[in-house]
Amino acid sequence: MHDLLPHISDQLSNVFGSITYFMPEVYLALLFIIVLITDLIFGKRSTGLCRTVACAGLVLVMYLDLMQFALVVDGQHFIFSNMLLLSRSNIFFKLIIDLLSFILLLYFTWDKKLNGHQKGLSDLYSITMASILGLHLMVMAVNLLSIYLAIEMVSIASYLMVAYRTENAFSTEAGLKYVLFGAASSAIMLYGISLLYGFSGSLDVIFQNNIIELSKVNPVSSSFAVILVLIGIGFKLSFVPAHFWVPDVYQGASTPVTAYLSTVPKIAAFALLINFLPPFILSGRWTGFDIGIALSIVGIITMIAGNFAAVMQTNVKRMLAYSSIGHTGFALMAVVVLTLQGVSALTYYLLVYALANIAALMLATYFANEADAEDVDSYKGLGLKYPIASVCFVIVLISLTGLPVTAGFTGKLFVFSAVYSVYQQTHSIWLMLLMVTGALTTVVSLFYYIKIPLNLFLKRKEISEIDSNKSYNLLILSIIISFLLILLGIFPDLVLHYL
């Protein structure tokens, strides 16, 4: 005990000095407590108030994110004894997460089925605030302990969000499946972390001296440990083989929750992967398996599995679930090269993919509210009855496919450019296979995305009048996002200038 006393002062100074770089997360923690207390005080009637407090608070957090750019002029800054890392790219990821979360907070009450939940949505807003805090920590985590805690924080919140509609058996089943897969993934990752700690003697695995220690271990053992950790991260990314939970969970969860799970945790997981991989790929001291080749193989399989499985789906949410797996495989292309150009391309691609995916699920909610349409076949003839929503749906799907002149095309072009730049230097066959697979699966995606416009405009059926819930808010926000997808496709520098 006496040996530790001289270090306590230094540790406290480090903690207090780190708080300046941690203000958005401090405010998120306070925001979670405020939303929770608001719910406890006002009860079931507090949904609107909790939503207002959460949205206003998130705007303040985005402002604090922007203020952090002045703190990392020199590039990056480690805080809390190297547990977290603040850098320009991390701040961009946090901004994207907060912006998308703000849109999703608005979206929650616009889903007829979710809004009809007997307990109200106040609890959902407090759970979402805790999840956003966990996502911020995921983006910044560079220590194995902070990585694990951040992922678990997000996972627990996600389990609650999926099973929120307890009166719905399908939602409860999806939540149970998610918990089981998540628990298995968590155990696997924790075992990998324990092995890495045992081999290197430190949890700060991203530093060069720890990679040197790992290089002294049998390559098979150290490779096995890293694979286990990557499986844990892959659960959040939903790449093959950690993707089995996605279709059932996305279909069983409420559509706004599906929109949340398919975008913001995935973006945070990619940011985490970018923090975790450089010592293993760029240091030249790693003696285990070639992680670049391994991720290339995973990316190729993920693109093929996700896109070909989506072709066979008839349920819109399930189709978008499989397509999100395919998009994960495509985004892995930028991670494999791990250059500044690759990180910028990945950031842009994830932003435009997330916007398009959220808009697609919003429009799925719109048609479910208005015409009780859940499957692709039930969209027949609705294009003329709901022309504005249908045109927006077409624009969003064009962006998800990656066709000109949308932002989806520009995002895929940037990813291809980043990979091709590295291929020109290395002539790696794996990078060539990644690009070929990415191009072919983009063509395959046309076959399932085109089903919706085909049914909306070119097929007819007798449409019976039903009691619709006029979803003007969904329509207005979908129009705005559709406009943004075209604008960013034509003028990508509006975003790229800052990356």
> Residues 462-485: what's their mean pLDDT?
76
The yes-or-no verdict on residue 467 having pLDDT over 70 is no
> How do residues 351-396 score in pLDDT, each as one tens digit?
999 999 999 999 988 888 888 788 888 888 888 888 898 999 999 9
The yes-or-no verdict on residue 10 having pLDDT over 70 is no
With contact defined as beta carbons under 8 Å apart, do 249 and 161 qualify? no
> How do residues 403-416 score in pLDDT, each as one tens digit?
888 999 999 999 99
Q: 463 falls in which pLDDT band (50, 70, 90)?
A: low
Q: What is the per-residue DSSP string for 82-107?
A: TTEEEEHHHHHHHHHHHHHHHHHHHH
> How do residues 178-228 score in pLDDT, each as one tens digit?
888 888 889 999 999 999 888 888 888 777 777 777 878 888 888 898 899
Better pLDDT: 121 or 334: 334
Query: Any alpha helices (H) in 450-490, and if so which ranges?
Result: 451-453, 472-490
Cα radius of gyration rounded to whole Å, the chain: 23
Mean residue pLDDT across the chain: 86
Query: Any alpha helices (H) in 238-339, and if so which ranges?
Result: 246-252, 255-261, 264-276, 278-281, 291-311, 316-337
Task: Work out the burial of residue 337: count CB atoms within 10 Å of its CB; fewer than 13 is exposed, 13-18 middle, 19 or more buried.
Answer: buried
Helix (H) or strand (E) holding 390: helix 387-401
3 state SS for 209-261: HHHHHHHCCCHHHHHHHHHHHHHHHHHHHCCCCCCCCHHHHHHHCCHHHHHHH
Angle between helices 407-426 and 387-401 (to 10 degrees): 0
Residue type, 208: Q
How long is the chain? Answer: 499
Percent of the chain with pLDDT over 90: 39
> Residues 456-463: what's their mean pLDDT?
72
Q: 399 falls in which pLDDT band (50, 70, 90)?
A: very high
Tokens of 205: 């695995």
Considering the entire predicted model, what is its pTM? 0.92
The pLDDT assigned to 465 comes to 54
The yes-or-no verdict on residue 466 having pLDDT over 60 is no
Beta strands in 432-481 (DSSP E): none
Distances (CA, A) of 300 to 291, 410, 433: 14, 21, 8
Q: 456 falls in which pLDDT band (50, 70, 90)?
A: confident
Percent of the chain with pLDDT over 70: 94
Q: 19 falls in which pLDDT band (50, 70, 90)?
A: confident
CA distance 131 to 97: 11
109-118, 226-235, 486-495: lowest mean pLDDT where? 109-118
Largest CA distance in the chain: 82
> How do residues 314-354 score in pLDDT, each as one tens digit?
888 889 888 999 999 999 999 998 888 889 999 999 999 99
The pLDDT assigned to 355 comes to 94
> Residues 230-250: what's their mean pLDDT?
84
Q: Is residue 79 helix, strand or coil?
A: strand
Q: 250 falls in which pLDDT band (50, 70, 90)?
A: confident
CA distance 328 to 311: 17
The pLDDT assigned to 191 comes to 92
Residue with tokens 């923090």: 275
With contact defined as beta carbons under 8 Å apart, do 69 and 57 qualify? no
Task: Work out the burial of residue 202: count CB atoms within 10 Å of its CB; fewer than 13 is exposed, 13-18 middle, 19 or more buried.
Answer: middle
The pLDDT assigned to 461 comes to 66
Q: How many CB atoms lie within 10 A of CB 483?
A: 12
21-30, 249-258, 394-403: lowest mean pLDDT where? 249-258
The pLDDT assigned to 40 comes to 85
Backbone angles phi, psi at 156, to 5 degrees: -60, -45
